């Protein structure tokens, strides 16, 4: 049986660790050629060596970095079939403690970064996609983009924007006859460095007990467990493959039942 992403080229941002690394590893196993874009050069290079990928420095809030990445992809591969906008920034504190600079930094990474990525790669994605095998943009949002959580206003708002940007682009590309699909994935509690930072904030504000915070977090999910990066990666594999060629503009929630409850 052929690998599900054979002959596809995939670019994944924020893939030096966590969910992005899980997606990069899984897509490589399914036959995709992988480009990792991250500000963490050492982590990106290390993973690239492990999975036979390319690693390129990328600050997603920098238009110049996006253009350099686009030039690299076009020169090395001449096509792009899958763009995974995964890079993100968390901020856990009450609104009154948010500075305007912190708010803008979260938006620059979580929202502007997606806009720049989609805008920069639109032409190459359009050229690479075709009827029956459209290009795929996968934007990593969060269940925080669907429901509210205390003390993380900037993050929640940014992830809500990711959801709506994904739907808007799905409809725009379809309206223009472009063979590009766009969907968002909404992870729940996934054991990553970002979630570990968030849990520290929840302990500090009393949302979960300090003596056993992870059991408390797991108990919030109907499946009574905390997810792993590979759980999200399986959703990304589906959305990146031609199995989902008729799927665009959806939000794929992978959260152990959190939002349903």
Catalytic residue among 155, 173, 202, 258: 155
186: Cβ contacts below 8 Å, ≥ 6 apart: 141, 142, 143, 145, 146, 159, 163, 251, 252, 253, 254, 255, 259
Q: What is the DSSP letter of 227?
A: B
- Cα separation, 59 vs 14, whole angstroms: 9
b/e per residue 43-63 (b: at least 16 CB within 10 A)? bbbebbeebebbbbebbbbbe
Q: How far apart are CA 89 and CA 108, in angstroms?
A: 9
Whether 238 is catalytic: no
Beta bridge partners of 137: 83, 182
Q: What are phi and psi of 239, to 5 degrees?
A: -70, -25
Mind telling me the catalytic residues? Answer: 155
């Amino acid at each position: 049986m052929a690998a599900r992403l054979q002959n596809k080229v995939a670019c994944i941002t924020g893939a030096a660790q966590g969910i992005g690394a899980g997606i990069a590893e899984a897509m490589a196993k399914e036959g995709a050629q992988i480009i990792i874009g991250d500000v963490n050069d050492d982590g990106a290079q290390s993973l690239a060596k492990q999975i036979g990928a390319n690693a390129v420095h990328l600050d997603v809030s920098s238009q110049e970095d996006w253009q350099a990445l686009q030039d690299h992809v076009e020169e090395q591969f001449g096509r792009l079939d899958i763009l995974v906008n995964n890079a993100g920034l968390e901020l856990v504190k009450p609104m009154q403690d948010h500075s305007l600079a912190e708010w803008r930094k979260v938006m620059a990474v979580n929202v502007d970064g997606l806009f720049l990525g989609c805008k920069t790669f639109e032409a190459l994605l359009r050229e690479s996609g075709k009827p029956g095998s459209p290009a795929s943009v996968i934007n990593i949002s969060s269940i925080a983009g669907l429901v509210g959580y205390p003390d993380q206003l900037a993050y929640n708002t940014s992830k809500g924007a990711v959801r709506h940007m994904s739907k808007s682009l799905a409809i725009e590309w379809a309206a223009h006859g472009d063979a590009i699909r766009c969907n968002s994935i909404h992870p729940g509690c996934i054991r990553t460095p970002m979630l570990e930072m968030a849990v520290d904030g929840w302990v500090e504000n009393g949302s979960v007990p300090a003596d056993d915070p992870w059991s408390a977090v797991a108990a919030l999910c109907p499946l009574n467990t905390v997810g792993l990066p590979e759980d999200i990666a399986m959703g990304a594999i589906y959305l990146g493959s031609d199995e989902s060629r008729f799927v665009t503009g959806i939000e794929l929630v992978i959260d152990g039942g959190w939002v349903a409850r």
